[in-house]
Homo-oligomer: A and B are copies of this chain.
Amino acid sequence: MRHFADDLSYAVERAGNPVVVGLDPRWDWLPSSLATGDPADFSRRAQAFEQFCCEIIDVVATQVPAVKPQAAFFEECGPAGMVALGHVIAHARQAGLLVILDGKRNDIGSTAEAYARGILGRDGQSAWEADALTVSPYLGADSLEPFVNIAEERGAGLFVLVKTSNPGSHMLQDQQLERGAVYRYVAEFVEEHSERTRGARGYGIVGAVVGATYPEQLAELRTAMPQTWFLVPGFGSQGGTAQDVALAFDQRGLGAIINNSRAINFAHRRPEYRQRFGEARWQEAVAAATREMIAQLRAETPAGKIAAP
- Residues of A at under 8 Å CB distance from B? 24, 26, 42, 70, 72-73, 75-83, 85-86, 104-112, 114-115, 117-119, 126-128, 136-143, 161, 164-173, 175-177, 182, 185-186, 189
19 A-B pairs, CB-CB below 8 angstroms? A70-B114, A72-B115, A73-B111, A73-B114, A75-B118, A75-B127, A78-B86, A78-B127, A79-B127, A82-B82, A106-B106, A139-B168, A140-B170, A140-B172, A141-B171, A143-B168, A172-B186, A175-B175, A177-B177
Q: Which residue of B lies closest to A75 (CB)?
A: B118
CB pair A107–B104 under 8 Å, yes or no, is yes
Checking B167, B172, B189 against A138 with a beta-carbon cut-off of 8 angstroms, the contacting residue is B172
CB pair B81–A127 under 8 Å, yes or no, is yes
Q: How far is the CA of A177 from the CA of B79 in the complex (A)?
A: 42
Q: Is the interface of A mostly helix, strand, loop or mixed?
A: helix
A53 CB to nearest B CB, Å: 14
Question: Which of A85, A108, A177 has the largest count of B CB atoms less than 10 A from its CB?
Answer: A108
CB pair A105–B108 under 8 Å, yes or no, is no
Question: Which of A110, A127, A185 has the largest count of B CB atoms less than 10 A from its CB?
Answer: A127
Checking B42, B143, B175 against A166 with a beta-carbon cut-off of 8 angstroms, the contacting residue is B143
Checking B76, B81, B139, B167 against A164 with a beta-carbon cut-off of 8 angstroms, the contacting residue is B139
Question: Which residues of the other chain, B, contact A126 by a CB distance below 8 angstroms?
Answer: 78
Q: How far is the CA of A72 from the CA of B118 in the complex (A)?
A: 8
If the complex has contacts A177-B175, A189-B171, are A77 and B118 also in contact, measured as CB distance less than 8 A?
yes
If the complex has contacts A127-B42, A171-B189, A177-B176, are A76 and B118 also in contact, measured as CB distance less than 8 A?
yes
Question: Which residues of the other chain, B, contact A138 by a CB distance below 8 angstroms?
Answer: 136-138, 161, 164, 172-173
Question: Which residues of the other chain, B, contact A139 by a CB distance below 8 angstroms?
Answer: 104, 136, 161, 164, 166, 168-169
CB pair A78–B118 under 8 Å, yes or no, is yes
CB pair B72–A114 under 8 Å, yes or no, is yes
Q: Which residue of B lies closest to A164 (CB)?
A: B139
Q: How far is the CA of A156 from the CA of B115 in the complex (A)?
A: 25
Q: How far is the CA of A212 from the CA of B46 in the complex (A)?
A: 40
Q: How far is the CA of A107 from the CA of B261 in the complex (A)?
A: 14
